[in-house]
Amino acid sequence: PGVTTLQLDKIAREMLTAAGAQSSFLGYFGYPAVICSSLNDEVVHSIPNEVALKDGDILSVDFGAIVDGWNGDAAVTIEIGTPVPKQTALSNATRESMWAGLAKAVAGNRLSDISHAIEMVIRNAGNYGILEDYGGHGIGTKMHMDPLIPNYGEPGHGPELIVGMALAIEPMATLGSKHVRTLDDQWTVVTTDGSRAAHWEHTVAITEEGPWVLTAHDGGEQYFAAHGIPSPAAKYAN
């Protein structure tokens, strides 16, 4: 509490410089920051500002970086100060749905297998809204590439997943309606009913040995091992 999202953006800029990386977001269609900091009923793409965070807020931070010409994209949701149980449950469900989707990033699966896995976790967790107009995407030499990955759908449809693909898996869910609108700044997406939202994201590479989560410090090893999912994460984790 008391910190502003503009301060968080400054820290992120400093970390990019220290790592010798570039921002995927800064200047992207004119976007003015290196993070998206979406607060409470803001779902995605919110521009950092000088509003101080308060106890009970829920904040998602989305961050993209370019290293040696390759893009990575990730997002986390953070509760500010004292956790609010219904927000905690929403964030946990959204995070778990992301991991379920990442686990389906396996050569031979279909794209909608990822979508279906995400949807089922969120549906089974509670009466949450799942955004229909936003989803995951291919990623690589550009931040946003084909294919678009909806966060809902029946399994067994869409392109076959192949070794070498990299995907950004990013479920977004709300405590109320799935409907959203964009504010006058042409960036900030908010829920139409004012309900609060959560957003989680990781970038995953599809390898011959299974999914490798490029934006997780352990490559996804802890989750995949616990769920018996083959992955090269242990081999590649730093």
Between CA 92 and CA 122 the distance in angstroms is: 10
Residue-level pLDDT at 78 = 99
* pLDDT, tens digit, 9 for 90 and up, residues 12-39: 999 999 999 999 999 999 999 999 999 9
The CA distances from residue 133 to 10, 43, 179, in Å, are 30, 12, 9
Whether 130 shows a pLDDT value over 90: the answer reads yes
Between CA 11 and CA 37 the distance in angstroms is: 13
Whether 237 shows a pLDDT value over 80: the answer reads no
Q: For residue 38, which amino acid is it? A: S
Whether 80 shows a pLDDT value over 60: the answer reads yes
Whether 238 shows a pLDDT value over 80: the answer reads no
Residue 147: is the preceding peptide bond cis (ω within 30°)? yes
Q: Which CATH number fits domain 5-236: 3.40.50.2000, 3.30.300.30, 3.40.50.1820, 3.90.230.10?
A: 3.90.230.10
| Residue closest to 83 by CA, chosen among 51, 59, 63 | 59
Q: How many CA atoms lie within 13 A of 43 on its CB side?
A: 30
Between CA 154 and CA 79 the distance in angstroms is: 32
Between CA 167 and CA 9 the distance in angstroms is: 25
Residue-level pLDDT at 209 = 96
Going from N- to C-terminal start, the domains of the chain cover 5-236
Give the pairing of strands 197-199 and 145-149.
unpaired
Whether 236 shows a pLDDT value over 80: the answer reads no
Rounded to 5°, angle at Cα 19 from 16 and 22? 45
Q: Where are the beta strands (DSSP E) in 7-144?
A: 22-23, 35-39, 42-44, 58-67, 70-79, 129-130, 136-138
Question: Quick one: what percent of the chain has pLDDT higher than 70?
Answer: 99
Per-residue tokens: 141:
């030499």
Count H helices and E strands in the chain, helices first: 5, 15
* pLDDT, tens digit, 9 for 90 and up, residues 191-218: 999 999 999 999 999 999 999 999 999 9
Only one residue has tokens 């410090």, namely 217
Residue-level pLDDT at 233 = 86
